[in-house]
Chains A and B, each alone.
Chain A
Amino acid sequence: EDQVTQSPEALRLQEGESSSLNCSYTVSGLRGLFWYRQDPGKGPEFLFTLYSAGEEKEKERLKATLTKKESFLHITAPKPEDSATYLCAVRLRNNNDMRFGAGTRLTVKP
């Protein structure tokens, strides 16, 4: 069965303390892995798309990487405004739908 698992469920960091969020997947065919950020009361906001193992994307303090089994979202020197829930999703080859993980709730303390 297609599954997307994110860890940890919640992460508390001090401002400037770098860390990584994990998204592991077992799917029958991958057509892309997507990272989103969700703020309270808002819809998920697109961050990155990764298509093949070894690919990396960067945006400000965030860097996403992809292997054949998992993706990492690295946060370098985070700031309080990076506090949000980070969701990963996979697009399946067979039917093209998008499956989301449960998310990691990140809190960055000043």
Chain B
Amino acid sequence: DARVTQTPRHKVTEMGQEVTMRCQPILGHNTVFWYRQTMMQGLELLAYFRNRAPLDDSGMPKDRFSAEMPDATLATLKIQPSEPRDSAVYFCASGLVLMGRPNSPLHFGNGTRLTVT
């Protein structure tokens, strides 16, 4: 089965440090989503891309978060500087959107659990 791969699975860092999370979407998928999950807020959309172009990043704190897709096989989410309130599980998901076709579901990776002390 094709899978979305996220690295690292766990990350513990100190406040103020830079954190980079990576995602390899399923080959052939043209959309990539970044979500953050906490007990209090559930799954929150941070940003999403179609054909590597950012379509919406309104869910991201712009002053510290950035998301990019350097190529079709890699999406990154960076936090600089990190803060304790950023502690959460960050999920990447990919899917296929074709004009005139029903949207495919998103397929999720197993997440990066980030702890900022």
Secondary structure at the A interface, as helix, strand, loop or mixed, is strand
Residues from chain B with Cβ under 8 Å of A91 in the complex: 103
- Minimum CB–CB distance for B107 against chain A, Å: 6
Whether the Cβ atoms of A102 and B91 lie closer than 8 Å is no
A residues contacting the other copy or chain, number (CB 8 A) = 24
Residues from chain A with Cβ under 8 Å of B115 in the complex: none
**Sample of 19 further A-B pairs with CB below 8 A, known A32-B103, A51-B102:** A42-B110, A43-B4, A43-B93, A43-B111, A44-B91, A44-B93, A46-B107, A49-B102, A89-B43, A89-B106, A96-B50, A96-B103, A97-B45, A97-B55, A98-B45, A98-B106, A100-B42, A100-B43, A103-B42
Binding site for A on B (CB under 8 A): 4, 33, 35, 42-43, 45, 48, 50, 55-56, 91, 93, 97, 102-103, 105-111
